[in-house]
Amino acid sequence: MTTYLVTGGGGFIGSHIVEALVKRGGRVKVLDNFSTGKKENLSKVSDQVEIVEGDIRNSPLCVQVMEGVEYVFHLAALHEVPRSVELPFETHEVNVTGIMNLLLAARDEGVKRFVYASSSAVYGNSPVLPRSEDMMLSPISSPYAVSKLAGEYYCQLFSHLYGLETVSLRYFNIYGPRQDSASDYAGVIPKFIFALLSNKAPTIYGDGEQTRDFVYIADCVSATIAACFKPGLSGDVLNIGTAQRTSVNQLCMHLQKILQREISPRFGPPQPGDIRHDYADIEKAQNLLSYQPSWDIDRGLAETAAWYRERG
């Protein structure tokens, strides 16, 4: 029986990957300290997975939980850009020391493949669009961006030096059901939905003309699972996006229409570390993973908004 480990499996993206792996069959372990993830995110499969509550900064725990694992999906991270600006050392410890602990444990256990959730933040504020994997990187916008690129380099090192197969996925803006709306650092989509459902004005930071590549969670999961099993990818880095971009102002208008709320947004100062424009060239993922996003922004937002509305 195939054994998987999902770090950060109680989080937004991680819990969706856990559910997909359970459907495939096999044994699934989850390692999460639940500082941002939620046990309720795993409620549908909690009786079918092994949940280990702990921190990836704990090296002996990483060794222990890696026992018998064949495939690793590394989602655990401090992923909020503003928080990383406030807490750069903690971000380094979790995102860099944490991945080193896991890579060492995976190497020593003979793991078949290690899939790492990186981020489009590694491109920084480069004016070059769309973002392609071979362009010059400039992750100086935030400690989060630097930590994610360090993780990529360590994955490539372990692939080339130690023979551990690794794949790094540069996620663009993933959204969908279960994304946290309560945190101060929550993503823009759940924040907008929560505000509009509460009949409050959503807050747009900056002028709202900044653009993002919004990827629905189902497309993210399919790409991530494919990256685990597609042969010949060791050491590769791939963008996971849609090759489309939407401004924050457009996003707000989409949600106003979906939720039938004519509430004008209010505008605040730009957030520290915010990137102006961002969208993906996905040709490499299309060629190597047969990846093709199937959820457009209207359909994805409608599904996401319905999930939040059903839960009050």
Question: What is the set of active-site residues?
Answer: 144
Chain position carrying tokens 């922004």:
297
Q: Rounded to an integer, what distance in angstroms lies between the CA atom of residue 268 and that of residue 79?
A: 22
Q: Which amino acid is at 18?
A: V
Q: Rounded to an integer, what distance in angstroms lies between the CA atom of residue 141 and that of residue 254?
A: 28
Rounded to the nearest 5 degrees, what angle is found at the Cα of 218, between the Cα atoms of 213 and 219? 50
Q: Which amino acid is at 56?
A: I
DSSP 243: S
Is-contact 163 109, C-beta < 8 A?
Answer: no
Is-contact 7 14, C-beta < 8 A?
Answer: yes
Q: Rounded to an integer, what distance in angstroms lies between the CA atom of residue 225 and that of residue 223?
A: 6
Q: Rounded to an integer, what distance in angstroms lies between the CA atom of residue 116 and that of residue 100?
A: 12
